[in-house]
Amino acid sequence: MLKGLYTSALGLAAVNKQQEVSANNLSNANTVGYKKEAVMLRSFPSMLIKRLHDPAAPGDKPPVVGTLSMGIQISDIVTDYSKGTYRDTNNPFQLALMSEGYFTVNTPRGERYTRNGDFKLSPDGVLVTTDGYPVLGMNGEIQLANDDFIVDQWGRVFSGGLEIDQLRIVVFDQPIIKEGSSLFNGENPQEMAVAQVAQGFLEDSNADAINEMVNMINIMRAYEANQKVIQTQDSTLDKTVNEVGRL
């Protein structure tokens, strides 16, 4: 009986984490460059059950009754790196990567990478993210005299008719680690030989609000089912201890 309680409790912990992840996806459905996450579950190794000391069993080996599942556990939380939909904004400070790759930005923790191209001009004339992190080009921070600039499809930045820098767009051989809503950290970034940049566009989140709401409803039903199983087992234990014990 206690085994059933443990199994149901493990199920509650797993679906609770699924609910947290799905709720985070839903809250970032409108975050530019956000990549949704998913919880991967796996079962504990099943136990082989045998009937011991069975006088009717032939031979010395106890007969096999079957297998017993030990419940589920969280295997991993994975990030979906697929592209989001593109939106025309007609804002020269907003850029989208139509190709693979990531913009490089400079943060207090070092270089980080993002597909969120919602940039702006700092008071010092530096192209920065909405959080104030400088966007890096091949020559360092991108300095602009004013908002009269052009970024071509290869990421080259022109101001006053002259090329002043080129966006540093990188790719990775190994999976990168998500930090916050739209920043990533990875090792051995490699500069892209050919990137495709669109000025005046943004890449929206790849999390769909409707799908996440449906997921949360299904997760809640699974949570309620586990709750009912625990309540049933608790009621059975109560009868066993307080009623059967008195006979």
- Structure confidence by residue, pLDDT tens digits, 93-147: 999 999 999 999 999 999 999 999 999 999 999 999 999 999 999 999 999 977 7
66: Cβ contacts below 8 Å, ≥ 6 apart? 49
Q: Which domain holds residue 73?
A: 2-81+227-246
Q: Are residues 173 and 188 in the same domain?
A: yes
Count Cβ atoms within 10 A of the Cβ of residue 133 and give its class: 0-12 exposed, 13-18 middle, 19 or more buried: buried
Q: Are residues 129 and 71 in the same domain?
A: no
Q: Are residues 115 and 144 in the same domain?
A: yes
- Tell me whether residue 214 is in a domain: no
Mean pLDDT, to the nearest integer, of 215-238?
84
pLDDT score, position 74: 86
Q: Are residues 165 and 99 in the same domain?
A: yes
Q: Are residues 108 and 73 in the same domain?
A: no
CA 235 to chain centroid: 39
Q: Do 79 and 37 touch, CB atoms closer than 8 A? A: yes
Single pTM value for the model: 0.80
